[in-house]
Chain A
Amino acid sequence: MALLEVRDVTKKFGELVANDRVSFAVDAGAIVGLIGPNGAGKTTLFNCISGLMKPSGGRIFFDGVDITDLPPYRIARMGAVRTFQVVRPLKDMTVLDNVLVGAFLHAAGGAQARETAETCIRMCNLADFAEKISGDLPIGIKKRLELARALAAQPKLLMLDEVMAGLTSTEVKGALELIRRIRENGVTLLIVEHIMEAIMPIADKVVVLDGGVKIAEGPPAQIIHDERVISAYLGAKFSRRLQAGREGGTHG
């Protein structure tokens, strides 16, 4: 059974349709990539899944439960935890304290939370920064903190929103290695990426969004040869969009 199922999800902001009847499923244990050009509606879809936004239509199921109308904290407690594309460290707290907030979710007590937090900090190579105030750190480290904090909440489904954007190529390699290790620990991953090259080597399945619509779904090897995907990335989407009479800012 699919761990996450997105069924006909539509999200409108006034006239703008950010997601248009998007459907896909994420199987337990898989790494699924959600890709698409800027403004394709990836983050909006993430916000709908994680409960931050209510979809205008469609349903979302997690672990067999309809989570469409649940608040974010309930969804997180069920085991679907996300990171944010624009990093959100709890600024005046240390790295360790940030990760502890995540760790307390499923810990019986402080000692257990601390143990979980320290493990996640080590996994994300943050041990040297544990006592640093998170707001003062450079972006690469803040990205790792996003990941460590979400991991500490011991998710069944970890949703990563462009954790690799803005990283150097060495850092990207490290991040990919880490993602593989997270999967080995039995965590299912849904990864939003803008850069196709980063996600292709590790994903079992890729879902491609463009202009709010799902234009392709399948294994990476198949996706990179898909006509519509290629044209979307080459920018042909603008002409298509003009034809559809939907110009006016699908950039989000």
Chain B
Amino acid sequence: MLLALLLCYAGFTALCLATDRHHGELLRSKPTPARRLGLRALGWLLLTLSIWPAVAVTGWGQGLVEWCAVLMLSALLLVLLLPYRPRLALILAGVGVLASPVAAFGLF
């Protein structure tokens, strides 16, 4: 479930950065259209990808339930962190991306 969580969280952060408002708040600049598109694609890619580790470990039934739970909770965590600890929210996403290969390695 950990790998799915890391990927979901990073995915949501990318989607969040793809919006003008949050990109401005977090990185103090307006994203270029290409960057916005790239972030959006990356976000959706990570979210889609996160299904795989959840399902691979516990099968479709339980895996999808866990994936949904992780999806909701990672978004909730990000939204609660953003106004209070914006830097931490970004750092966590970075750590998540970096740690996911390790977590993937631990899976198999």
Q: Do A and B bind each other?
A: no
